[in-house]
């Protein structure tokens, strides 16, 4: 790996620790970076940071009141279980795992930016997981030489967050505003619209979810 790439990697790692203005000047030096190579390595960084994030969000999820009557609770728990996906698929497909991590990070950032509720984020990630893990989608990926098409995952993330926001929020930004948060790709409205429809039909329009945030 050429030296300047290596340096750049060090800097992107620092980006997680230092405030942005400090790094802006450093970024300017690197105009001719090949983004794709960085992405691959950067995933490790992401998986490390998300592990801690997940732990802290678990704490949030536990802060709810469970005042269910005796019959309702088992049926809700059964429904909740239906929506949870096994991790084996992610463990076997590391490329998918890392692009999924990145997409989840992006969803959480946008969710925070627009002060969407926690439930919106939970819905969006659930839609994304169910969509990515759907049998058809996996096959498509394998056909493409195991190239996981990072843009496809990102497009799915945009569509899933948009659907979740429309389901849960009272104000939903336009597609273009939803994509303000830094991402390597910017999709046209008609592309996101088509992806929304694909996600909806792949998930069989089952958008209501039983979560620990259920009220």
Q: Residues in the site for other proteins, rule: CB under 8 A?
A: 136, 159, 162-163, 166-168, 170, 172, 174-176, 189-190, 192-193, 196-197, 200-201, 204-208
Q: What is the dihedral of CA 71, 73, 75, 79, to 10 degrees?
A: 170
3-state secondary structure of 145: coil
Rounded least distance, CB 193 to other proteins, Å: 4
CA angle, residues 36, 40, 44, in degrees to nearest 5: 150
3-state secondary structure of 31: coil
Q: Which is nearer to other proteins, 29 or 78 (CB)?
A: 78
Q: Which is nearer to other proteins, 17 or 136 (CB)?
A: 136
Q: Which is nearer to other proteins, 94 or 197 (CB)?
A: 197
Rounded least distance, CB 186 to other proteins, Å: 14
Rounded least distance, CB 92 to other proteins, Å: 25
* Cβ pair 118, 60 in contact under 8 A: yes
Rounded least distance, CB 124 to other proteins, Å: 13
Residue 41 token pair: 């390595």
């Amino acid at each position: 790996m050429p030296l300047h790439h290596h340096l750049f990697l060090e800097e992107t790692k620092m980006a997680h620790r230092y405030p942005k203005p400090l790094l802006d000047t450093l970024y300017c030096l690197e105009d001719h970076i090949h983004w794709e190579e960085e992405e691959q390595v950067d995933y490790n960084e992401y998986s490390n940071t998300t592990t801690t994030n997940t732990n802290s969000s678990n704490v949030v999820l536990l802060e709810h009141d469970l005042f269910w009557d005796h019959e309702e609770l088992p049926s809700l728990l059964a429904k909740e279980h239906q929506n949870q996906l096994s991790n084996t698929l992610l463990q076997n497909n590391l490329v998918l795992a890392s692009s999924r991590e990145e997409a989840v990070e992006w969803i959480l950032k946008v969710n925070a930016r627009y002060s969407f509720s926690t439930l919106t984020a939970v819905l969006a990630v659930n839609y994304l997981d169910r969509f990515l893990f759907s049998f058809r989608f996996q096959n498509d990926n394998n056909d493409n030489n195991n190239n996981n098409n990072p843009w496809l995952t990102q497009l799915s993330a945009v569509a899933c967050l948009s659907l979740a926001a429309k389901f849960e929020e009272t104000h939903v930004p336009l597609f273009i505003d939803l994509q303000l948060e830094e991402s390597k790709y910017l999709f046209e409205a008609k592309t996101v619209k088509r992806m929304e429809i694909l996600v909806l039909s792949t998930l069989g329009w089952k958008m209501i979810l039983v979560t620990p945030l259920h009220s």
